[in-house]
A and B are shown apart, each in its own frame.
Chain A
């Protein structure tokens, strides 16, 4: 079946511009995650949705970062007034709903590579 898709795959922005990154999760997956992967580093958690509810946004680095998932499916990560330090690959992942206290596998999309000039 179809995996997680992300668009655009590549985005170049001038410093100060706003950008919007889109994530389409696997059909039926209620949990959705955003991660930021800087060059040469492991992914770092940004935020987590269960359906349309944003349950954890502790990883968002500043109030310039905003994520939404209004209908519990597609999600958008928005970055306002982009800075050079925002340059990274932004990864989206989805997973089935957690069963009790266990954790299910997160399946990742190909990522969006953001370059801020």
Chain B
């Protein structure tokens, strides 16, 4: 069965500092990994994905994520956080021939001025 763990309910960081939002996964076969962001009363907005290739994936708004197969992790990172990055972040995985995404429980990112 596919699963995703986001171990932190909330991450607090000061504006200008680097941020990391953690994600680990379990899937049969090759994983396809995604990060989405959700703002209040809005749907999920795609940030980036790992399908194959380079382990470091760059996405929208300066975000990037590093795929680590040995640690089954796909942590989201940004070198310098903005207050406007404050939102709910979801990691998702699929694989094994499936198309449906399995999501984590989400991590709330709070960037303080």
Q: Is B56 an interface residue (CB 8 A)?
A: no
Q: Is A43 an interface residue (CB 8 A)?
A: yes
Q: Which residue of B lies closest to A9 (CB)?
A: B41
A48 to B99, Cβ gap below 8 A? yes
Contact-residue size bin, chain A (C-beta under 8 Å from the other chain): 20 to 34
Taking a contact as CB atoms closer than 8 A, the residue among A43, A55, A56 that contacts B44 in the complex is: A43
Interface residues of A in 16-53 (CB under 8 A from B): 31, 33, 35, 40-45, 48
Minimum CB–CB distance from A94 to chain B (whole Å) comes to 12
Identify the interface centre among B42, B43, B105: most chain A CB within 10 Å of its CB: B43
**How distant is the Cα of A112 from the Cα of B97 in the complex, in angstroms?**
29
**How distant is the Cα of A45 from the Cα of B36 in the complex, in angstroms?**
15
* Contact of A105 with B43 at beta-carbon distance under 8 Å, contacts A42-B104, A42-B105, A45-B102 already known: no
B105 to A106, Cβ gap below 8 A? no
Interface size on B, residues (CB 8 A): 27
**CB-defined contacts of A103 to chain B, threshold 8 Å:** 32, 51, 94-95, 99
Q: Which residue of B lies closest to A4 (CB)?
A: B43
A59 to B51, Cβ gap below 8 A? no
What are 23 A-to-B residue pairs whose CB atoms are below 8 Å? A33-B101, A42-B4, A42-B92, A42-B103, A43-B103, A45-B100, A48-B99, A48-B100, A56-B99, A91-B43, A93-B44, A95-B99, A98-B99, A102-B52, A103-B51, A103-B95, A103-B99, A105-B49, A106-B34, A107-B46, A108-B43, A108-B44, A108-B46
